[in-house]
Amino acid sequence: MSVQLPDIRVLKYYSKCSIIELMASSLPDKEFLGTLAKGLSVITVFDEKTPVLTVTAAAAAIGVSRATARRILHTLHQLGYVEQNGRSFSLAPKALDLGYRYLSSQSWIERAGMLLKVLSEEIGESASAAVLQGTEIVYVAHVPSRRLLSVDETIGTHLPAFHTALGRVQLGYLKGADLWARLKSVRHSSYTSSTIINMQGLYDRIQSDRDQGFAIIDEELEKGLRSLAVPVLGRDDNLLGAISISVNATRTTRDYLRTVYLPKLRAVAVNITDGT
């Protein structure tokens, strides 16, 4: 049976893509360190549903022998990334370090956090920064609004890129073929009656958002939630991420977002770029 394997570059778009799929790819790669890949893969097996792993469970989860799983967990334990309790292994707080390295190595994120805090205090609404990762956005900064009904995303939270202002405004920076590949790689769900799930419709909206330099999501992801996002660029006009303001739809109109908040959000984006 001949199976058409996806290109390794397309595979990478899947944030949930397992190392097993990657290694099953037909491309021979002598430079690829399978042991490193399997070790990182074991870390990503842990989540809310799998807080602890035995050697046997780890072996089954990533498709390696018990001996290999044992050596991986032993190594991660020696390095302080996992804790051992009898035959059970769980992630240690040191694993947080690995993620924190990303946040601390991206100087624009700290700057964005400070500037968004000032903006959020001025307008009394929540403000966020996120980066695009495959077909999702990952929050890297968030300032909750002072109001009671506020959006509560936290750093590291994932949301579908195609249905968030933060995502759409970044997707427009991709080449057409790349954008189509990502559009096709996910099943687009209706979150509300306003969610755009038609692929051509999403493609066109992303292009027009790119042209106008901002994206507005009007109750497409959640009833009562409106968001405005603009891209954050580096000095070389490379895309770093995006920043947004989220408001309660019953309180703030789409027009108000465009006329009052858009100039303020753009000023923050320019200020971030200037600091890079």
**Residues lying near a second copy in the complex (CB under 8 A):** 8, 12, 15, 17, 19, 22, 29, 31-33, 35-40, 43-44, 46-48, 50-51, 70-72, 74-76, 78-81, 90-107, 110, 131-134, 138, 140, 146, 154-156
* Distance between CA atoms of residues 218 and 226, nearest Å: 5
Q: Which is nearer to a second copy, 26 or 78 (CB)?
A: 78
Residue among 143 and 268 whose Cβ is closer to a second copy: 143
What's the Cα-to-Cα distance from 51 to each of 46, 72, 75, 179, rounded to whole Å?
6, 17, 18, 35
Q: Which is nearer to a second copy, 14 or 191 (CB)?
A: 14
CB of 74: closest distance to a second copy in angstroms? 5
Please identify, using beta-carbon distances, which residue of 131 and 216 lies nearer to a second copy: 131
Q: How far is residue 125's CA from residue 150's CA, in Å, rounded to a whole number?
A: 8
Nearest to a second copy of 200, 238 (CB atom): 238
Of residues 146 and 198, the one with the C-beta less far from a second copy: 146
Q: Least CB distance from residue 149 to a second copy, whole Å?
A: 13
Give the pairing type, strands 136-143 and 88-91.
unpaired
> In whole angstroms, how close is the CB of 69 to a second copy at the nearest point?
11
**What are the φ/ψ torsions at residue 225 (nearest 5 degrees)?**
-115, 120
Nearest-approach distance from CB 246 to a second copy, in angstroms: 18
Min dist CB 17 to a second copy, Å, is 8
CB of 84 to a second copy, least distance (A): 12
**C-alpha 165, offset from chain centre:** 13
Spatial contact of 197 and 203, defined as CB atoms under 8 Å apart: no
Please identify, using beta-carbon distances, which residue of 87 and 208 lies nearer to a second copy: 87
Q: Which pair of structure tokens corresponds to residue 48?
A: 């809310």
CB of 64 to a second copy, least distance (A): 12
